[in-house]
Amino acid sequence: MNDGVRPPLIELSRASRTYGARTADEVRALRDVDLAIQPGEFLSVEGPSGCGKTTLLNLLGLLDSPTSGEVRWDHRPVGSLSDRDRSRLRLTGVGFIFQRFYLLPTLTARENVELPMRPLRVPRTERLRRASGLLAEVGLEGRERAFPHQLSGGEEQRVAVARALANRPGVLLADEPTGELDTGNTRAILDLLVRVRADRDATLILVTHNPEVSNRARRHLTMRDGAVVRDVGET
Amino acid sequence: MRGFGWGRSLRHVRLQWVLAVSAIAAAVALPVVLISVGGGVSAHELADLQNAGYQIVVSAGGSHGISGAHALAQRIARIGSVTVASPILSVAIDAFNSTSPTAPVSPVLAEGVVPGQFTPTLGPTESGLFPSPLPLGDPTDLVHYDNGTYRGPATYDVLVSTPLAAAKGIRVGQQIVLSPSTNRSLGVAYNVTGSFGVPPSILGPTGAFAVLLPLSDLQVMTGYGPANASSVFDAADTIEVAVAGPVSDNPSALTHVRDEIQSLVPLYGVTSLLQEAQQLESASAVLTGFYLALSSVGLSVGLIFLALVLLRRVETDRRSIAVRRALGLPARTIAAGILTEGAVIAALGALVGTLAGYVVVESLARWATSTVQEAASLAVWEPFTLGAIVAGVVGLSALAGGVATRAALRVEITEALR
Ligand SMILES: Nc1ncnc2c1ncn2[C@@H]1O[C@H](COP(=O)(O)OP(=O)(O)OP(=O)(O)O)[C@@H](O)[C@H]1O
Ligand SMILES: [Mg+2]
């Protein structure tokens, strides 16, 4: 689907992320990673626990900045963007499915899905319609008014997926989006993400341990100790 | 995320809210009480001054310091634009039951006045309390005084205050014996020709047990103008001077009249009530400023407490704040949430504080001891001032909200989402 001449959407050059620099518990979670991601790519990230997958996703999703090296979005160095611009990009351009879901506990399932639409002034009726539609797509019809503590882990995870799709982002970053799901639901969520990506030519990057999930991706990254040790498949 | 403990955190939040609202309420109640009571008392005294029937007072230090009062009053009355000059002598004397020599003595406050001059110096609230003209027989007090000799016949008429009449069972037409001392035999029998009400006097001698009689009669009785003496003191405490309407409202014309009177009596004090009112007004403004300064201490403590509660909320909500930031919700949405919460707490606190201040003042007015009670019952509730206090507190809550907002926007997203 890529003709090879499209410029990269997100680019990491020698990007490193060190936690607790110059302290006793300094952790180099990412080490000099070079990576170029084309628009519309479908990419899986694998690797043992603690190898830096979430850290990489945070940099790709503008949640964090590298301690050295550079991240560029559309050729613009992320470091040169204001906090406001980065917020705006996250709001409209990125759908993030967190490893631990992070639903807001005081909001219902539907309110959680509506939340990212509010700052964009989506009219209320449209918000409700879209949120209910997304919840139905992840198989949570009828659970709109449930609070997160009334949902099972898998249900929470599916609400998180619906929320990530709320503003129809061009980039989907999913940190083990099917970790809590049974085979049936895993397949359903995966089908949804794949369909969304195909419909909108969105970029889909997912972290997973599940071979069934990673097999659907076109490009496969393997990480170890903060470095990308394998990068196979089409770009 | 599951079992985030949101039931428990809600209880926590509720307790913090109650504490913060109470802190603000306590801080607001103080100025509300001080300003409404202080404002009420000075407004009342100001009204007393402005409603008096006279505008200038001549007074002298010591007891009964003005001598030659009749003659001086007449000279003052001849000054242009002066309408009335009324000499007044106040002495504590004793009253006895005229028919029962063994009945106990009552100390009373006696006011000696020139009847025809006294009535026009009464303010609108007082004048309804006195019969007009005063039924004291000798309207100009010149029959008895008779060119400064006290040789004319005394009328021996007296008016008694209604509280005195009620307490002692005195009726118009009866006689009472008035004496300068507790020795009844030095007394003279007076005819009670009428009674008068006692004005609701605030924070001053109440004079509820009072009698009103011709000036010369009181002077003779108390020895300040001994009968048949060739040279007499003709003493008075004050001379109240009323001026013509247009002059009374005109500060410079009033000052001019005051200066003219002063030149007649260089050794006595001559003040215009307008001056006094202005002094009272500026004193009350200073006092209000002082109250506000005092209250600002309490208010600062309340706002610091509010800031702490909001900071604590940010601390417990760190994760939710980070999630919102991660989803890309703008900083201003997060700021607005915190500022609104601060403003709501402040507004609630200010309203509760105003209400508490009101309840405190009303209970003082009902149950406190006399002086406090009287002061409390005068409190004025000015919606504008109270509204300004509430609005000010809500406005200042933005400072507390600002501190908490700063902390919220500094939350590191990836740190908070570990
Ligand atoms: N905020 C942080 N402060 C300090 N160390 C951190 C922080 N976040 C992550 N780390 C460390 O950085 C390393 C990489 O963490 P990361 O979360 O990226 O791993 P991961 O590949 O996502 O692991 P998992 O598969 O278990 O989710 C780990 O050793 C982790 O302990
Ligand atoms: Mg991870």
DSSP string of B220-289, one letter each residue:
HHHTSS-TT-SS----BSEEEEEE-HHHHT-HHHHHHHHHHHHHH-TTSEEEEHHHHHHHHHHHHHHHHH
B-chain residue closest to A101, CA distance: B1
CATH number at residue A58: 3.40.50.300
- In A128-147, the residues whose Cβ lies within 8 Å of chain B are 147
Q: Does A180 touch chain B (CB under 8 A)?
A: no
Q: At what angle do helices B273-316 and B331-367 cross, to 10 degrees?
A: 130
Chain B residues inside the 8 Å CB shell of A67: none
A-chain residue closest to B3, CA distance: A149
Place of tokens 């479908």: A42
What total number of domains does chain A contain? 1
Phi, psi of B332 (to 5 degrees): -70, -30
Say what percent of chain A tops pLDDT 70.
97
The pLDDT value recorded for residue B232 is 47
| Distance, CA of A234 to CA of B222 (rounded, Å) | 123
Q: Please state the pTM of the whole predicted model.
A: 0.71
Is there a contact between B333 and A119 if contact means CB atoms under 8 Å apart?
A: yes
Of residues A96, A98, A149, nearest to B4 (C-beta): A149
Instruction: Give nearest CA residue, ligand 1 atom 25.
Output: A49
With beta carbons less than 8 A apart as the criterion, state whether A45 and A77 touch.
Answer: no
User: Is residue A176, in this structure, part of any structural domain at all?
Assistant: yes
Instruction: Give nearest CA residue, ligand 1 atom 20.
Output: A50
**Tens-of-pLDDT digits for all 418 residues of chain B?**
333 334 445 677 788 889 999 999 999 999 899 888 888 888 887 777 777 788 899 998 766 678 889 999 999 999 988 999 999 998 889 999 888 777 788 899 999 999 998 888 888 777 888 988 899 988 999 998 887 788 888 899 999 998 889 888 899 999 999 998 888 888 899 999 999 988 665 444 556 889 999 999 998 888 754 444 444 478 899 999 998 878 877 878 888 999 999 999 988 999 888 877 788 888 888 888 888 888 889 889 999 999 999 999 999 899 999 999 999 999 999 999 999 999 999 999 999 999 999 999 999 988 877 788 888 888 888 899 899 999 999 999 999 999 999 999 999 999 998 8
The pLDDT value recorded for residue A181 is 85
The pLDDT value recorded for residue B7 is 45
The pLDDT value recorded for residue A17 is 96
Say what percent of chain A tops pLDDT 90.
80
Structure tokens at B172: 């118009």
CA distances from B84 to B50, B81, B265, B346 (A): 17, 9, 17, 57
| Distance, CA of B292 to CA of B273 (rounded, Å) | 28
Q: Cα(A27) to centroid of ligand 1, in Å?
A: 9
The pLDDT value recorded for residue B201 is 57
Q: Cα(A61) to centroid of ligand 1, in Å?
A: 16
Measuring from each residue's beta carbon to the nearest atom of ligand 1, which residues come in under 6 Å? A 19-20, 27, 29, 49-55, 99; B 414-415, 418
ipTM (interface predicted TM): 0.93
Ligand 1, atom nearest to A56 Cα: 18
Ligand 1, atom nearest to A20 Cα: 4
The pLDDT value recorded for residue A156 is 93
Q: Does A36 touch chain B (CB under 8 A)?
A: no
- pLDDT one-digit tens code per residue, A122-131: 999 999 999 9
User: Is residue A5, in this structure, part of any structural domain at all?
Assistant: no
User: Is residue A31, in this structure, part of any structural domain at all?
Assistant: yes
User: Is residue A209, in this structure, part of any structural domain at all?
Assistant: yes
| Distance, CA of A189 to CA of B14 (rounded, Å) | 39
The pLDDT value recorded for residue B200 is 61
Pairing of strands B210-214, A219-224: unpaired
Within 13 Å, how many C-alpha atoms sit on residue A89's CB side?
18
| Distance, CA of B21 to CA of B32 (rounded, Å) | 16
Mean pLDDT of A41-63: 96
CA distances from B334 to A105, A121, B114, B143 (A): 16, 16, 77, 89
User: Is residue A2, in this structure, part of any structural domain at all?
Assistant: no
The pLDDT value recorded for residue B181 is 84
pLDDT band at residue A114 under the 50/70/90 scheme: very high
- pLDDT one-digit tens code per residue, A175-212: 998 888 888 888 888 999 999 999 889 999 999 998 88
> Could you list the residue range(s) of the whole structural domain that residue A196 is in?
10-233
Is there a contact between B320 and A58 if contact means CB atoms under 8 Å apart?
A: no
Mean pLDDT of A128-140: 95
Which conformational region is residue A101 in: left (phi greater than 0), alpha (psi within -120 to 50 degrees), or beta? left
The pLDDT value recorded for residue B231 is 41
Is there a contact between A163 and B327 if contact means CB atoms under 8 Å apart?
A: yes
Contacts of A6 (CB under 8 A, 6+ apart): A38, A39
Maximum separation of any 2 CA atoms in chain B, in Å: 108
Of residues B6, B323, B324, nearest to A149 (C-beta): B6
With beta carbons less than 8 A apart as the criterion, state whether B210 and B110 touch.
Answer: yes
Is there a contact between A63 and B413 if contact means CB atoms under 8 Å apart?
A: yes
Contacts of A83 (CB under 8 A, 6+ apart): B331
Q: Does A148 touch chain B (CB under 8 A)?
A: yes
Give me the torsion for CA of B289, B294, B297, B298, rounded to 10°: -110
Chain B residues inside the 8 Å CB shell of A105: 1, 4, 6, 320
Chain A residues inside the 8 Å CB shell of B336: none
| Distance, CA of A129 to CA of A38 (rounded, Å) | 32
Could you say which ligand is closest to the alpha carbon of residue A51?
A: 1
Q: Which residue has the higher pLDDT, A235 or B235?
A: B235
The pLDDT value recorded for residue B277 is 79
